[in-house]
């Protein structure tokens, strides 16, 4: 069983909790400090205004008051609940008799809540009464402010706990949604690796990278199924031929390599799982919640770098899936390479399709790779078969030596069909990756781009001539490896 840190869900959950444990404590204490300071400022402003009001009254009317009237004003302040303590000190000192707690006595001005190690906020105000300077001292109950701060602490704690719970659940649900298509690809690839070649490799994901991965894996599966059918037919038809036996052994080795691609697909899905972790961690959990000036913003750069790694992994998979490796090059006969591949393909052609081969009489040496050339011929003939599957016709494969567009002698290969043909707009795009006119499920749009890439790697060119409703002709031209070994165009025949 995989460790928690080896799974996408486990890493995201650990990452979410780690980010929140880093951010929530300073966020909690920051919010609490803001609330406490706000409550304190409101309280201090209120008691200051009240002290100014009492001071103004005493300054206006205090000169005409006797000691009893002053005493009555101070008692009224305390009894009304506005203050816990009140006194006026001038030539004499008058203290409110309504003070209930003997411990409440003026200890000096307070400048903040909770100062003085008590629950009373003291302030004094200098007054000018009847030409004399006197001091009004008041003490106010701080407990209402402290209770409000405590209530704010509890509410903030509840809100942040609820946020942590909701964000964790959201991360889990998001991970499940993102990993579902990867699990689908893994299970399908395992079925293909077990021999179920007819099982499609599809996914319901809307992520561009995952969909591209699924398309290329489906392309590999289709090639694997075609190779498997071809191999079975060759074994049944040419079982007694030693030469065929050697070819079949080679085909079996190739099939074994292709079957391993299914297992590779599972590993790809697992690797993609691991690369996606920092994307989810930093972008989904951090970006949405962090303020613009948060120091944790540095993590976003790590998320960006991880996303680049994910794209690089997918690009490597795509290059592998398209078989763009040049392979080893050697001098080969174009006629022989084409003839061998067409001979294998004949068994796959339907009865209403006639295959005509015209290879001339002389060798056409080129620098190339027989396996890659076989892949080119197989793709072109498969396309021709698809174009003629409804009404049949003739598939013509020719090789000859003749001048190319620049006048130099070239070894030429043409594949012509009498299928439905193409419009000019379609013909201009057929070598674009993933472009296809076939219905969904019948083609990936990678066959002709693969052909184009192989021919370019062998320093060749490919062109197409097509008329809608009439048919198409693909012409491939390669440089000759040894001009002295070839015959003249008159000996070979003139190409199209």
Query: Could you tell me which of 125, 123, 127 has the C-alpha nearest to residue 115?
Result: 123
Please tell me the distance from the alpha carbon of residue 110 to that of residue 84, in angstroms, as a whole number.
15
Please tell me the distance from the alpha carbon of residue 345 to that of residue 375, in angstroms, as a whole number.
11
CATH code for the structural domain at 330-492: 3.30.565.10
Please name the residues in contact with 180: beta carbons below 8 A apart, sequence gap of 6 or more. Answer: 204, 205
CB neighbours of residue 488 within 10 Å: 10
pLDDT tens-digit profile, the chain (496 residues): 456 666 767 777 788 888 888 888 888 888 888 888 888 888 888 888 888 888 888 888 877 777 788 888 888 888 888 888 888 888 788 888 877 666 677 777 777 777 767 788 888 888 888 778 888 888 888 888 888 888 888 998 888 888 888 888 888 887 777 777 777 777 777 777 777 767 777 677 777 777 777 777 777 777 777 877 887 777 777 665 666 556 556 544 544 443 454 345 445 645 665 665 556 565 656 656 766 676 666 666 566 566 655 554 444 444 444 444 445 678 899 998 898 888 878 877 888 888 899 988 888 999 888 878 888 888 899 888 888 888 888 999 999 998 877 778 899 999 999 988 888 888 888 877 666 777 655 555 567 777 887 888 888 899 999 888 889 999 999 999 864 344 444 334 445 5
Sign of CA dihedral 19, 22, 25, 28: negative
Please tell me the distance from the alpha carbon of residue 478 to that of residue 148, in angstroms, as a whole number.
87
Please tell me the distance from the alpha carbon of residue 364 to that of residue 377, in angstroms, as a whole number.
16
Distances (CA, A) of 351 to 139, 198, 229, 236: 109, 24, 17, 18
CB contact at 8 A, 460 and 478? yes
Look at residue 129 in the predicted model and tell me its pLDDT.
81
In the sheet with 93-95, reading across from the earlier edge strand, the strands are 93-95, 85-89, 132-141, 120-129
| Paired residues of 234 in beta bridges | none
* pTM > 0.85: no
Burial of residue 268 (number of CB atoms within 10 Å: 0-12, 13-18, 19+): buried
Look at residue 317 in the predicted model and tell me its pLDDT.
46
Look at residue 444 in the predicted model and tell me its pLDDT.
52
Residues 464-487 as b or e (16 or more Cβ within 10 Å = b): bebeeeebbbbbbbbbbbeeeebe
CB contact at 8 A, 463 and 448? no
Angle between helix 242-279 and 143-193 (nearest 10): 180
- Domain segments of the chain as ranges: 4-141, 176-321, 330-492
Look at residue 453 in the predicted model and tell me its pLDDT.
78
**Secondary structure of the chain as H, E, C letters:** CCCHHHCHHHHHHHHHHHHHHHHHHHHHHHHHHHHHHHHHHHHHHHHHHHHHHHHHHHHHHHHHCCHHHHHHHHHHHHHCCCCCEEEEECCCEEECCCCCCCCCCCCCCCCCCCHHHCCEEEEEEEEEECCEEEEEEEEEECHHHHHHHHHHHHHHHHHHHHHHHHHHHHHHHHHHHHHHHHHHHHHHHHHHHCCCCCCCCCCCCCCHHHHHHHHHHHHHHHHHHHHHHHHHHHHHHCCCCHHHHHHHHHHHHHHHHHHHHHHHHHHHHHHHHHHHHHHHHHHHHHHCCCCCCCHHHHHHHHHHHHHHHHHHHHHHHHHHHCCCCCCCCEEEEHHHHHHHHHHHHHHHCCCCEEEEEECCCCCCEEEECHHHHHHHHHHHHHHHHHHCCCCCEEEEEEEEEEECCCCCEEEEEEEEECCCCCCHHHHCCCCCCCCCCCCCCCCCCCHHHHHHHHHHHCCCEEEEEEECCCEEEEEEEEECCCHHHCCCHHHHCCCC
């Amino acid at each position: 069983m995989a460790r928690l840190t080896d799974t996408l869900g486990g890493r995201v959950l650990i990452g979410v909790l780690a980010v929140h444990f880093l951010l929530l404590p300073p966020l909690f204490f920051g919010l609490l400090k803001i609330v406490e300071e706000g409550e304190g400022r409101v309280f201090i402003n209120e008691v200051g205004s009240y002290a100014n009001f009492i001071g103004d009254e005493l300054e206006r009317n205090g000169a005409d008051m006797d000691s009893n009237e002053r005493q009555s004003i101070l008692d009224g302040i305390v009894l009304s609940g506005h203050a816990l303590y009140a006194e006026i000190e001038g030539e004499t000192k008058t203290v409110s008799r309504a003070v209930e707690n003997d411990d409440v006595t003026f200890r000096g001005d307070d400048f903040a809540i909770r100062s003085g190690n008590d629950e009373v906020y003291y302030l004094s105000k200098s007054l000018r009464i009847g030409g004399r300077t006197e001091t009004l001292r008041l003490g106010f109950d701080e407990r209402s402010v402290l209770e409000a701060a405590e209530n704010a602490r509890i509410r903030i704690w509840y809100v942040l706990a609820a946020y942590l719970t909701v964000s964790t659940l959201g991360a889990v649900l998001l991970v499940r949604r993102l990993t579902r298509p990867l699990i689908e690809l893994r299970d399908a690839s395992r079925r293909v690796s077990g021999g179920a070649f007819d099982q499609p490799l599809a996914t319901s994901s809307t992520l561009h990278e995952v969909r591209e991965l699924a398309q290329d894996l489906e392309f590999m599966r289709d090639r694997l199924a075609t190779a498997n059918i071809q191999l079975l037919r060759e074994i049944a038809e040419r079982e007694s031929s030693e030469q065929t036996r050697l070819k079949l052994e080679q085909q079996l080795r190739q099939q074994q390599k292709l079957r391993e691609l299914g297992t590779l697909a599972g590993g790809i899905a697992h690797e993609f799982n691991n690369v996606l972790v920092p994307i989810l961690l930093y972008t989904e959990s951090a970006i949405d919640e962090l303020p613009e000036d948060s120091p944790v913003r540095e993590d976003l750069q790590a998320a960006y770098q991880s996303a680049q790694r994910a794209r690089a992994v997918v690009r490597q998979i795509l290059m592998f899936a398209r078989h763009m490796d040049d392979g080893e090059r050697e001098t080969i006969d174009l006629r022989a390479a084409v003839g061998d591949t067409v001979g294998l393909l004949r068994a796959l052609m339907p009865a209403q399709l006639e295959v005509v081969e015209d290879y001339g009489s002389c060798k056409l040496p080129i620098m190339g790779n027989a396996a890659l050339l076989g892949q080119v011929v197989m793709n072109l003939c498969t396309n021709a078969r698809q174009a003629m599957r409804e009404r049949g016709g003739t598939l013509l494969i020719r090789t000859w030596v003749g001048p190319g567009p620049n006048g130099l002698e070239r070894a030429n290969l043409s594949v012509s069909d009498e299928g439905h043909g193409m419009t000019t707009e379609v013909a201009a795009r057929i070598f674009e990756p993933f472009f296809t006119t076939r219905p969904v499920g019948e083609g990936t749009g990678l066959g002709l781009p693969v052909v184009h890439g192989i021919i370019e790697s062998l320093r060749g060119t490919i062109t197409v001539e097509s008329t809608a409703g009439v048919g198409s002709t693909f012409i491939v031209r390669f440089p000759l490896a040894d001009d002295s070994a070839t015959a003249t165009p008159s000996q070979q025949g003139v190409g199209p």
